Structure 1
């Protein structure tokens, strides 16, 4: 009997079964991202990322302010140490990630590594240039726009959907971080351009790294990204060191205390970077950018507690606004995700009905 000759009741039964049956699909990174920071592993690596970021930041301050080391030497040592430890962790994951078994390297491997490595190096150099012209707080204020940059870059590079509620929830987060450091604002056009460029390269690096680390067919491990991009960054950094480094100052200040501090700082920097890469596999680039913004506010207040920096009303207000913004972001992302699932379910039902109608 042909399909068009089926009794009306049977046709209705077929239609109902096709529209009501859940569509099965393989678990993907999107499924993992739905839990976000509510995933125990993701939250653990978030804490590790915050901890090692704090260690790196305060040791940076000690090396540059107290030991008066050259900032270019500090950046170069960080890349050297993270290259060494990245190589070790490719063979000893230390429980931070699951190794990927594959034959050979993924397509365009070196092109991808050079692209990410160049953005890593550019972020470091532009950050140093910004600090040369403006206060740390001004750089952090400019970087507070990172979630907005990430939304647009994620849409262009990986087609990530960001709902209208999520988009607007980013505004109080960015505003709050700006207020946290507003008491120390300074403006300089060179510093402003360098800070904005740092923001752009860092967002590009994070989104492109997410694209590589969450691939379905050719998935890069965090250690691979850490190791190969560090090598690419060092290749670009070598000529920059000869141009930017004060060789006489390095010879004059280098001793066992400085050397041991540089080595320890490099270890902290490695674990800060690789924990950030591991975290990327669990959350979206926009959530990662929001977490980075919260981390900056956390480090600002930690420095206030440890170093006794003056606190103003705007700083306290900014912290409250950041906290509220994060709560709003969590609820907005959950709401937008529900709207997206309803929209997709409705679209799938319409497609299934059209298929049945064509068959009848």
Structure 2
């Protein structure tokens, strides 16, 4: 039985000599399965079905046939499936029908809904964390131990997530560890000192002091990284410094421990930003934050044991259990750790979805929400000067964030152009 391809060649010209049958190909070259195709006994050519051949054999067979017929070799055409057919479950069937396009979901059609939900959950979890965290300090004033609990619960969450493959754990090597170590150390120091400030003063006052963080970031960029900061950015930071100073002078809960701890937290998070820029990796944000949390937990455990361990064993745990009960004590520690990890993770995921300007506005509004809700929940009495100073500081942060986002957008457009 002659091949379909070769039999068509006999009609081209009577002067072309008859070709010899090609050598029989071994069955090992083309695995034959039931229903996959058939090879005739004479030439081993494909005559029906969907037999799959290696590309190199197809190219060599076509070029040899062209050479035998003295035809110039032509480029072999490859038919590529359409995107719809490739994505359809029936793309590999023999029906030959058109693939149906799956309907677009509501969240895919309106991505702003998803982004808005991320913002809402970020704010909600952040407010709940700050309120619950302060309530714990009212009956259990041990910020170093509570900081360990925050990170510990988050690490357990990450380990469970890796175990079930959501997400898949990214590999870690010694070089990546060296890059992440200073980031994690600064993260641990900033987190612990923030909690020391939360335990010592009102939540609203701690967040007012932490509004100075952009000032420290600008100073570090100018004097450490050598980046030129525009004069407009420096001028926008003036109301931030003025507002924090006004609020601090008349804050009823003011004490030096809370103030200095919040300032150290600002400096620590500033250096965390600097080291983060030097440790840019291709790792996704979820895995990156998980590794930073693990390293930070190891860093936080020794100070907690040295500074608070004896007090905790002597009367710290017993006093807290006597005030609220064992069940509520354990439950509060667990949930404050969960809220801490989830709001940080959601903040990272949210800020990845938006433009720099939206990012800046989101951060400012978050601080406003936390300050406002903490005053309402705890009934903190603030003086008129403290309220005015807080508003001036927040407004200054908003102006600074707006100008910085605009500058970053202009730099990005210049690079793309």
Higher relative contact order (CA 8 A, sep 6+): 1
Cα contact 1:138–1:185 (8 A) shared by 2: no
Aligned to 1:123: 190
Which structure: greater helix fraction? 1
Equivalences for residues 93-112 of structure 1 within 5 A: 104-105=171-172, 108-112=175-179
Do residues 51 (structure 1) and 117 (structure 2) align? no
Larger displacement relative to structure 2 (154-163 or 201-210): 154-163
Aligned to 1:249: 315
**CA gap 1:197/1:317 in 2 versus in 1, 3 angstroms:** closer
Helix, strand or coil for the counterpart of 1:145? helix
Unaligned runs of 5+ in 1: 1-37, 349-360
For residues 303 and 217 of structure 2, what CA distance do their matches in structure 1 show?
28
Based on CA coordinates, which of the two structures has the bigger radius of gyration?
2
For residues 62 and 186 of structure 1, what CA distance do their matches in structure 2 show?
16
TM-score, normalised via structure 1 length:
0.65
How far is 1:124 from its partner?
A: 2.7
For residues 58 and 248 of structure 1, what CA distance do their matches in structure 2 show?
27
Larger displacement relative to structure 2 (112-121 or 124-133): 124-133
**CA gap 1:90/1:116 in 2 versus in 1, 3 angstroms:** farther
For residues 322 and 298 of structure 1, what CA distance do their matches in structure 2 show?
14
Do residues 303 (structure 1) and 366 (structure 2) align? no
Equivalences for residues 88-237 of structure 1 within 5 A: 88-90=160-162, 104-105=171-172, 108-130=175-197, 139-154=206-221, 163-176=230-243, 179=246, 183-184=250-251, 192-209=259-276, 212=279, 215=280, 218-237=281-300
**CA gap 1:92/1:301 in 2 versus in 1, 3 angstroms:** farther
Q: How many residue pairs get matched?
A: 299
For residues 395 and 197 of structure 2, what CA distance do their matches in structure 1 show?
29
Helix, strand or coil for the counterpart of 1:184? coil
For residues 148 and 393 of structure 2, what CA distance do their matches in structure 1 show?
33
For residues 323 and 45 of structure 1, what CA distance do their matches in structure 2 show?
23
**CA gap 1:128/1:86 in 2 versus in 1, 3 angstroms:** same
For residues 180 and 93 of structure 1, what CA distance do their matches in structure 2 show?
47
Equivalences for residues 258-269 of structure 1 within 5 A: 258-269=329-340
Do residues 271 (structure 1) and 342 (structure 2) align? yes
For residues 156 and 46 of structure 1, what CA distance do their matches in structure 2 show?
34
Cα contact 1:137–1:182 (8 A) shared by 2: no
Larger displacement relative to structure 2 (186-195 or 271-280): 186-195
Larger displacement relative to structure 2 (167-176 or 131-140): 131-140
Cα contact 1:122–1:198 (8 A) shared by 2: yes
**CA gap 1:188/1:310 in 2 versus in 1, 3 angstroms:** closer
Cα contact 2:211–2:394 (8 A) shared by 1: no
Of residues 352, 358, 367, the one that matches 1:281 is 352
For residues 101 and 177 of structure 1, what CA distance do their matches in structure 2 show?
42
How far is 1:266 from its partner?
A: 0.9
How far is 1:188 from its partner?
A: 6.0
For residues 285 and 335 of structure 1, what CA distance do their matches in structure 2 show?
8
Do residues 72 (structure 1) and 138 (structure 2) align? no
Aligned to 2:383: 312
Aligned to 1:62: 135
How far is 1:232 from its partner?
A: 1.0
What CA RMSD, in Å, does the superposition of the two structures yield over aligned residues?
Answer: 4.1
Deviations 1:199-231 (A, max 9, x none): 11112224544665xx4xx42222222221121
For residues 182 and 139 of structure 1, what CA distance do their matches in structure 2 show?
14
How far is 1:122 from its partner?
A: 1.0
For residues 251 and 327 of structure 2, what CA distance do their matches in structure 1 show?
35
For residues 71 and 338 of structure 1, what CA distance do their matches in structure 2 show?
39
How far is 1:235 from its partner?
A: 1.6
For residues 297 and 347 of structure 2, what CA distance do their matches in structure 1 show?
20
